[in-house]
A and B are shown apart, each in its own frame.
Chain A
Amino acid sequence: MCGIAGLIHRGSSADIGSQMTSMLQALKHRGPDSTGFALYGQEPTKDYVMRFKVAEQEDLATGFDIHDEIKARMTTVDERLKELGVTIKNTEQVTEYALRYTFSHEGDLKRVIDFVEDIEGVEILSIGHALELIKDMGDATVVSEQYKLGGFNGTHAIGHTRMATESDVDIRSAHPYWAYPFNDVSVVHNGQLTNYWSNRRDLERRGHRFMSDCDSELIAVYIAHRIDEGDDLHTAMSRSVDMLDGVFTYLVATADSLGMAKDVMAAKPMVLYESDELIALASEEVAIRSIFPHEIDTFDPYEGEVRVWQS
């Protein structure tokens, strides 16, 4: 089933970490397998923020050697970054397998990404000046506490609670997806795509990479592909509604915007609250209510609809 949520503050910022945690916790019944956040900081930094993992949570149960392997992978990441001239400013080990780095780099970022992800077990979850992508097993409260997301100040966010239907229960298949290799672009999706494999093959032939077997990743890669071809976000999303087959509602966030698209059957839910100060969207109104103590007017976007808002 899955639950998705998004919010964007217009011209201001707030504790989006706590707000998104509340919204996703209210959607827990739609998917208990994993929870993910894509949070966009208040002031984009000149440095890059990289969130990555060096193992899956389930790998920790595979034996004693994994702990040494994780340390070895982290060392290799540092060595490869230095080899490519990356200046590491700060490192933070959030869990045994999840890390947050800030760094500066003047060279080819895609080369850095590919070189790091070439290390076995290493996956970059996001790179950007504003985006921080966090996803792990458990409900929103568990993941939020684990990664200390309460108090994260920013302008906008999207999030996802997953009920696995198309692929494994692991971090790799959890949402949001980062639209590799584009800074600050992330996607969450509710639904099933029936032309996933044919489009995946097409995009792989064009040089794009897929990290999972989850159909939702196709949307992130397709949006990245269209932006690379020169589309703006709204145009890329409008094309996706025609290209994607199946049932879907998805959200895309960039450094300064939030977008929403629904399939032509409007088969998957989305409730929208819109005011001058804030846009909030979710699979169920109960999620929006979790951040509003007062009565509000909401509505369902219609079939085939694409909307984009700026922060």
Chain B
Amino acid sequence: MAELNSDHESHKLGMHTEQLAGRTQQVFFSPSAEENFTYPDGINVDFAKETEFDAGSMEIRDVNRKLRELMKEGYGTITIRNPGAKHSLGVGILNRLNLNFDGSLGYFGCGLCDGPNIRISGRVGWSCAENMMAGTIVVEKNAGSTFGAAIRGGDLVCMGDVGSRTGIDQKGGTIIVGGRSGAFSGFMMQRGRMIILGDAGKNLGDSMYDGTIFVGGKIEDLGVDAIEGEITDTEVKWLEAKLGLYGLEAPNGVKNLTKIVAGKQLWNYDNLEPSEKKLVL
């Protein structure tokens, strides 16, 4: 894995001010680190080699199997037509890939991914991109609840509205919501950043350990231990750059986004696992 050092780009932007030590320290993704793509099931593909297939009459398992077969044949740009809101499509992709879904996905779409760039022209159901490690996923319409649960890296973008508990247990990466996000967004968030350009439902950031949430619209109310923070110049730069990547704009400019962080009154986030703590104490 890439080594953490103070020269890392995100540190230049001043985005990590509460660096922890020991077991819980964050290790940053680096595109130059080849070891990030050495999974046993990772496949080398050629982005210029394109293909497509129709999933309309296929079973879920067959769609994912076909996708894997095409990657093994070296296809790096794949379009899947008529996904029909089926569940668990496009999961467990551990290599770079340009993947397009022409339609909507059901539950658990594109979960457990590490590296692909995915675009979904329709909507996604609950738990899209759960545990994503790296890559980008862009949803052009709406998304269901628990969008981006426990993601650790990458960019997860929904152009429309999202259900409740967005980014629950988020551990890294960036979640962007173009519209509204429901109740308990950022619940137990631990790392990473979330940008909600519309309104946020009640209990925003409830029991968050760390991480940052930016909101462009109204916040119904804040959860336990979530407080308002002051947006910095480096964050403004980062927000403009990040939103610009996806053709999005904050409703009143990024400087007027409301920044929410952990108050850390509940903070109990140290270096030791509970079993180790018993030994030490």
Contact = CB atoms under 8 A, between A and B. Distances in A.
Interface string B117-140: 000001101100000000000000
A284 B107 CA distance: 8
B154 interface: no
Interface residues of B, number: 28
A266 B123 contact: no
B123 A303 contact: no
A285 B162 CA distance: 15
Describe B's contact surface by its main secondary structure: loop
A295 interface: yes
Nearest to A269: B126
Interface string B178-222: 001011100000000000000001100000000000000000000
B68 interface: no
Interface string B150-179: 000000000011111100000000000000
A61 to B, nearest CB: 35
B215 to A, nearest CB: 16
How many of chain A's residues touch chain B, expressed as a range? 10 to 19
A302 B183 contact: yes
Interface in A129-148: none
B96 interface: no
Contacts of A269: 125-126, 144-145
A164 interface: no
A83 to B, nearest CB: 53
A297 interface: yes
27 contacts: A265-B184, A266-B145, A266-B163, A266-B165, A269-B125, A269-B144, A269-B145, A271-B144, A285-B106, A285-B125, A286-B84, A286-B87, A288-B85, A289-B85, A289-B104, A297-B141, A297-B142, A298-B123, A299-B160, A299-B161, A300-B142, A300-B145, A300-B162, A300-B163, A302-B180, A302-B182, A303-B182
Interface of B: 84-87, 103-104, 106-107, 122-123, 125-126, 141-142, 144-145, 160-165, 180, 182-184, 201-202
